[in-house]
Amino acid sequence: MFKSEKKMRAALSVLAVVFGASAPVSSFAQDAAAQAPADAPAQAAGAPKLGWYKTCSKQEDNDICVVQNLILANGGQLVTAVGLISVSGKINRKLLQVSVPTARLVPPGVLMQIDGGKGQKLDYAVCLPDKCTAEIPLTDAMIASLKKGSDVIFTSINFRRAPNPIKISLEGFTGAYDGEPVSESKLVESQRSLQEGMQKKAEEARKKLEDAQKAAKAQ
């Protein structure tokens, strides 16, 4: 049992919030995280997003569900990923994990504030070359606060010692947490729409740059 729990905890920490690699959007999130800059900006207006959604899978004798939200920059880079992980079966555990870009100061951890209330510190559990993940046991009180809240802010400190707050709307959180997990087909469609949105944004940015260059040459 001890070895099983140790193995499960290692898996949860290393996989961070993109647990459930079978889900298409999870592999997409990992690809985006690999390109994350040292200090990604808050999600810009018009940047594509998926919102809150739940995925469930089975690992050995345990059922694992993750309610997650991925905040991406316009170019598709990971800004912040949040996952509420519930493990039930042979092992019973609930964790809240937050992944942010790398190049963070480790001692401050990540500060979570719901509707500007008192901050809750999440200590970093693991830092990989592409991201750092902080975690904290997930309590019923925390879940209730998230359900009642309007938004949650996660603040990490970058290597320049500057705070990097990221605000995430809690709209749709309750429905995702209490509802059924999304189907694989819906995730595929969401991923397709997200990629198409990012491609469109990239094309618009490229055209604006070309137009600006042409205008500069014409002067």
Residue 19's H or E segment, with its range, is none
Residues 138 and 85 sit within 8 Å (Cβ to Cβ): yes
> 156 or 18: whose pLDDT is higher?
156
Percent of the chain with pLDDT over 70: 68
DSSP calls for 115-171: TT-S-EEEEEEEE-SS-EEEEEE--HHHHHHHHH-SEEEEEEEBTTS-EEEEEEE-T
Joined together, the tokens standing for residue 141 give 């009180």
Whole-prediction pTM: 0.69
Q: Is the pLDDT of residue 162 over 50?
A: yes
Q: Is the pLDDT of residue 16 over 50?
A: no
Question: What is the identity of the amino acid at 94?
Answer: K
The mean per-residue pLDDT over the stretch 55-69 comes to 90
Calpha distance 83→135 (Å, rounded): 9
Calpha distance 39→75 (Å, rounded): 14
Fold of 2-218: Immunoglobulin-like (2.60.40)
Residue 167: pLDDT band (50, 70, 90) is: very high
**What's the pLDDT score for residue 208?**
82
Nearest to 36 by CA among 120, 127, 109: 127
165 strand-pairing partners: 155
Q: What are phi and psi of 108, to 5 degrees?
A: -70, -20
For tokens 């902080």, the residue is 134
For 119-151, write each residue's pLDDT tens digit: 999 999 999 888 999 999 999 999 999 999 999
